[in-house]
A and B are shown apart, each in its own frame.
Chain A
Amino acid sequence: MTELSKQKALVQYAAQIGDNGLIIGHRMSEWCFRAPSIEMEMALMNCALDLIGQARELYTYAATTQGEGKTEDDFAYLRDEQDFRNALLTEVPNGDWGDTIVRLFFMSAYNKLFFTALTSSKDSELAAIGAKSLKEVTYHLRFSSEWLIRLGDGTEESHTRVQNSIDSLWAYTGELFTMTDAENLLLEDGIAVDVTALKADWVTLVAQILEQATLTFPTNDWAQLGGKAKGQHTEHMGYIITDMQYMQRRYPGCEW
């Protein structure tokens, strides 16, 4: 690999955190008019707004750092699938309400720890974004934990369904705690978060809620990697990109 400049690494880093927000926010937004009640739908729309909002700030910061006159929309709409470095967990399809809650729970537990650590970043802009996002993801964690407990300790059907969701999404959680080259480089300067150090707390947090939900903690530790380090996504990602970028690709260079 050619040597990565610190500036380039920072652009990649900000964009990569933004990618997680945009892609999971996209998935949440797909619940519009599909949720089990209006209240639940509005809660998910709210999460989507927060997460896409986080992506906007991070992309804007990435664009400013890059200094090529690009905007947040260049990052969302004009990069190719391989340029997105979101964790695979954020892009897998919504599935049923249980799958969606489990995904949001895994991600929010991670986000809570991640943004807490990011507030201590030596990069003041990232620290500020971390502080603002932390408030939002704390709510997402509460919302998804409450639902996880309700589903786990609800009916037999809901228990079985949500246990299956946990078991099938588990393989995507390991990727959250891997480091990219950009992260390693920025870690030296105290800019990036050492995500490998977050795993123990994440496991404790998850185990605690699963216990309350009368659910079983998965034992299979195999992790599916690819999105974060290499931009190698699941088969689903191409459709997200197609959907999301359709207007910008069809009508290039327009103001909307």
Chain B
Amino acid sequence: MYGDTSIQKPIEIAEPTSEEQARLEEIFQQKIDDNIKIEPQEWMPAAYRKTLVRQMSQHAHSEVIGMQPEGNWITRAPSLRRKVILLAKIQDEGGHGLYIYSSAETLGTSRAEMIEQLQTGKAKYSSIFNYPALSWADMGTIGWLVDGAAITNQVALSRCSYGPYSRAMIRICKEESFHQRQGYELLLSLSRGTDEQKEMLQESVNRFWWPSLMMFGPNDSDSPHSAQSMKWKIKRKSNDQLRQEFVDATVPQAEFLGITLPDPDLKWNEERGHYDYGEIDWEEFGNVINGNGPCNKQRVANHLKAHEDGAWVREAAAAYAEKQQNKQVA
């Protein structure tokens, strides 16, 4: 339940003197440098904790909000096999959300607080989910490109310095790569289908390619939190490094599908040993981040509506649990 207050609070430590503080920070950084995982009960700088809560809650929210575009196609899935695959995938995502919320709660912020921040717009989620799922092909494209980009990020995060987050990522990556293969396999079926199916595939990739590249965040030169996060090993690779890895892995897959990625500047650079790609539309990126994407309002409104519609149910469950407890005491 959202109202769960039984989370583990971090151990209260008396305010250290500035000298002690410096020593604690030194020990902390030493652990990070030695690749020793930081665990919930250990001392950590307030900013480290805050950065992690921000990043992990954003990640959990993304899993949960990400259920919306895919949920848009469950009832319209074109075969029963595809319908159950999609249902199972969405269910996995709910599970990831729960798992990451729990990991984030080890840092002393409750799920209820995180949900409230999502609903009031204080906390963000991945901007990709502010784009609509307009065709059946999107169910494949989201698996292939969106989950593909997410995995690129998450493989790096599985080496993150915070123990619970790192362990969550290891588990989640396994399921995500399964989703990515399923998405790609869906697109392969379209690529071998009728002209209309091929068009559906190309049109979907046209819409999702650039937003997928945006999932890695701003260029390194414009990424304000990056340096500190790298030092703390919350982040293990830079935005641009990860984006390049994703592009390099994805282009051959696109060729195999027989589609064109919508970037005239995309070409192999022999000298760099990487694909060059065009400039991302950072104005669009900024707009979507700041609430002006095609589905921002709808996504949060849906979440809020489900939450509010369910209030009486959660109250009933709490009242019932209390009655049972009183009976036991009596």
Contact = CB atoms under 8 A, between A and B. Distances in A.
B314 A37 contact: yes
Contacts of B190: 256
B1 A37 contact: yes
B287 interface: no
Interface string B60-92: 000010011001001111111111100110110
Contact of A158 (B82, B196, B315): B315
Contacts of B164: none
Interface residues of A, number: 50
B80 A34 contact: no
A248 B80 contact: no
A39 B98 contact: yes
Contact of A56 (B80, B136, B189, B319): B80
A26 B197 CA distance: 25
Given A35-B306, A53-B84, A247 B316 contact: no
B80 A32 contact: no
A158 B81 CA distance: 37
Given A32-B74, A38-B94, A244-B75, A52 B320 contact: no
A151 B74 CA distance: 28
A189 interface: no
B87 A29 contact: yes
B174 interface: no
Interface residues of B, number: 51
Given A52-B83, A153-B320, A36 B194 contact: no
Interface stretch (A43-51, A112-120, A180-188, A200-208): A43-51
B303 interface: yes
Contacts of A255: 189, 192-193
Contacts of A52: 80, 83-84, 87
A55 interface: yes
A161 B312 contact: yes
A26 B98 contact: no
B130 to A, nearest CB: 15
Contacts of B314: 36-37
B315 A155 contact: yes
Nearest to B311: A36
A97 interface: yes
Nearest to B83: A52
B257 to A, nearest CB: 15
B148 interface: no
Interface string B181-210: 000001001101110110000000000000
B310 interface: yes
A222 interface: no
B84 A33 contact: no
Contacts of A190: none
B88 to A, nearest CB: 6
B71 A251 contact: no
B313 interface: yes
A3 interface: no
Contacts of A38: 64, 94, 97-98
19 contacts: A26-B75, A36-B313, A38-B97, A38-B98, A49-B91, A59-B80, A77-B78, A97-B310, A154-B320, A155-B312, A155-B319, A157-B315, A157-B316, A247-B77, A247-B78, A254-B193, A256-B82, A256-B186, A256-B190
List 5 tightest A-B contacts by C-beta distance, closest first: A36-B310, A154-B316, A158-B316, A32-B71, A247-B78
Interface of A: 22, 26, 29-30, 32-42, 45-46, 48-49, 52-53, 55-56, 59, 72-73, 76-77, 96-98, 149-151, 153-155, 157-158, 161, 240, 243-244, 246-248, 251, 254-256
Given A32-B74, A36-B314, A38-B98, 8 more contacts: A29-B83, A34-B306, A39-B1, A45-B91, A56-B80, A77-B79, A254-B193, A256-B190
